[in-house]
Amino acid sequence: MKTVFFGPFLGEFGWEMFHWQGWVKKMCQGKYKDCHKIVATYEGREPFYPQADEFWFHPQEIKNLKISERNYIADYWYDNYPKGSGPADKNIGYYADKLLKDYQKKLPADTIFFVPYKLNSYNYNGKNRLFGVLWLPGLAIYQNPKVLSIQGSEEQLFEVLEPTQKAKDFLAKMIDPSKKLICLFPRRRLSRRPDKNWPKEKYDLLIQRLKNKYPNYAVAICGTPQGSYYSDKIPQDCLDLINVPDDLRFNVQVAALGQAVIALGSESGGVHASMLLEKPTLEWGFAEKEKPIKAVNFLKAPLFFWPESNPSVEKIEDLVSLILEGKEINYPQVSNSFNSYQETGNIFKLFFREVLARPVLTHFHKKNLEDGLINSPLLK
C-alpha cells in the first residue's frame, strides 16, 4: 500500500485550519483514500484530520522552540527558509529540515510527501497545481518568500469538526455535557497586531456581566497559555480550557464549542474555529478584516463582525444579547481604519520577488510533475 505523508505543519493555526487541513481531508477522502495516510502536526489537532491512519505529533525538541506562528510559515527561519525578524540563533529551518529528514528515513522510498513550507505539486482535474513556499536561494534581493496557499473551497473539504472520544470524556469530567457554554477567546499577543488585544480589564467586566446575565450558562475561557489572558489565573466560576494538556487542548475546546450557544473574542484564529462547528460567532476588529474572515466561513456559520478594534464592554454585551435573542444588529457606517497599523514590507523587494518568482512558477506549471514535494536544482 502506498504511503502519503502530509506535513510537518509548523505554521499559523489559522492557515492550518483554512488553507491546509481542508485540502488534506479532500485528498484523503478522494485521490489517496486507498493509501496509508500520515499527518504530522501539533498535538490535539486530530479533529482536522479524521481520515488519517496515523498521527506523528511534533517531538519535544520542536515544541521547546516555542515557534512563533505568523503568516503561514514560522518566524526565525533563514538560509533556504522564510526569514523572520527574530534572532538568528533560533534557526527554525534547521530543526524543520532535520525533522523532515528523520521522517523520510523512516518511510518507504516511494512515499509521497506534501510539505507545506516547501514547494509542492499535485494534479487536480487534469491540471498541475502548485502550493507551498517558493524560496530562491542565493539571491540577496529575494528576501521575502513567495507563499502559494490553497485557496477557496473547490479544492478543499470542510466539514463540522468532531472531537475525539477522549476529548469528550475529558470535558465531561469538568462540566456536565448538557450544560450550555459561552466560549470566550481572550486573545493576547506581545508582538504583531497589538490592536487585536482587547484590554484585560474589559474582559474582566464582560465576564462578570455575562455570568450575571446568563446564570444558566457557563463561561468557558479558551485559547492557549502563550496567547491568551487568564493563563495564570482563570476568573472565578469560569471553565478553564486554557490550562489543558497540550495533547488535548484544541480537541477539548472543539468539544466545548459543541456545547456552546456562542463563541466570541477579538479577531483571532482560535475564535474562528467556532465557524467550523457552525456556531454563532462574534468577533471585533478593524473593518478591513471582515471580508477575509467571511471568505473562510465555508460552512456559512452565523458570523457577526463588529467593525471596531476597541469597542466598549456595553457594546459587546448588547451584541451578545441581540445574537442570542435572534434580533437584528445595526452596524455602523464608519469605523476605525487598519491602515495606520498595517505592516508593509519593502515594496522594492516584493516587486522583484514577483518578477523573479513568475518564470520559476511558470516553468514548474508547464512540467508534468509527479504529486508531492518538488525536488529541483532551482530550489536548492
SS (H, E, C) the chain: CCEEEECCCCCCHHHHHHHCHHHHHHHHHCCCCCCEEEEEECCCCHHHCCCCCEEEECCHHHHCCCCCCCCCCCCCCCCCCCCCCCCHHHCHHHHHHHHHHHHHHHCCCCCEEECCCCEEEEEECCEEEEEEEECCCCCCCCCCCEEECCCCCCCCCCCCCCCCHHHHHHHHHHCCCCCCEEEECCECCCCCCHHHCCCHHHHHHHHHHHHHHCCCCEEEECCCCCCECCCCCCCCCCEECCCCCCCCHHHHHHHHHHCEEEEEEECCHHHHHHHHHCCCEEEECCHHHHHHHHHCCCCCCCEEEECCCCCCHHHHHHHHHHHHCCCCCCCCCCCCCCCCCCCCCCHHHHHHHHHHHHHHHHHHHHCCCCCEECCCHHHC
pLDDT at residue 85, rounded to an integer: 62
pLDDT at residue 335, rounded to an integer: 53
Terminal CA-CA length for the chain:
31
pLDDT digits (tens, 9 = 90+) for 337-374: 555 444 444 677 777 788 888 998 998 988 889 999 99
Report the distance separating Cα 221 and Cα 235, nearest Å.
9
pLDDT at residue 342, rounded to an integer: 44
The answer to whether 305 and 294 are in contact (CB under 8 A) is: yes
Tens digits of pLDDT across the chain (380 residues): 999 999 999 988 999 999 999 999 999 999 999 999 999 999 999 999 999 999 999 999 998 887 876 677 877 787 667 766 666 677 888 899 999 999 999 999 999 999 999 999 999 888 889 999 988 776 655 667 888 988 666 789 999 999 999 999 999 999 999 999 999 999 887 666 666 789 999 999 999 999 999 999 999 999 999 889 999 999 999 999 999 998 999 999 999 999 999 999 998 888 999 999 999 999 999 888 889 899 999 999 999 999 998 999 999 999 999 999 999 999 987 655 555 444 444 677 777 788 888 998 998 988 889 999 999 887 87
pLDDT at residue 142, rounded to an integer: 63
Domain layout of the chain by residue ranges: 3-159+351-379, 165-324
Report the distance separating Cα 1 and Cα 34, nearest Å.
8
Report the distance separating Cα 302 and Cα 322, nearest Å.
13
The number of angstroms, rounded, from the C-alpha of 323 to the middle of its chain's C-alpha atoms is: 25
Angstrom CA distances, 24 to 28, 32, 160, 164, 229, stand at 6, 10, 15, 18, 32
Q: To the nearest 10°, report the CA torsion of 284, 286, 291, 294.
A: -10
pLDDT at residue 344, rounded to an integer: 46
pLDDT digits (tens, 9 = 90+) for 68-108: 766 778 777 876 677 666 666 778 888 999 999 999 999 99
The number of angstroms, rounded, from the C-alpha of 265 to the middle of its chain's C-alpha atoms is: 16
Class of 165-324 in CATH: alpha beta
Report the distance separating Cα 211 and Cα 208, nearest Å.
5
Report the distance separating Cα 49 and Cα 53, nearest Å.
9
Q: To the nearest 10°, report the CA torsion of 300, 301, 304, 310.
A: -110
pLDDT at residue 101, rounded to an integer: 96
pLDDT at residue 154, rounded to an integer: 79
Residues contacting 73, CB < 8 A, separation 6+: 10, 11, 12, 81, 82, 116, 117, 133, 145, 147
Grid coordinates representing 245? 494538556
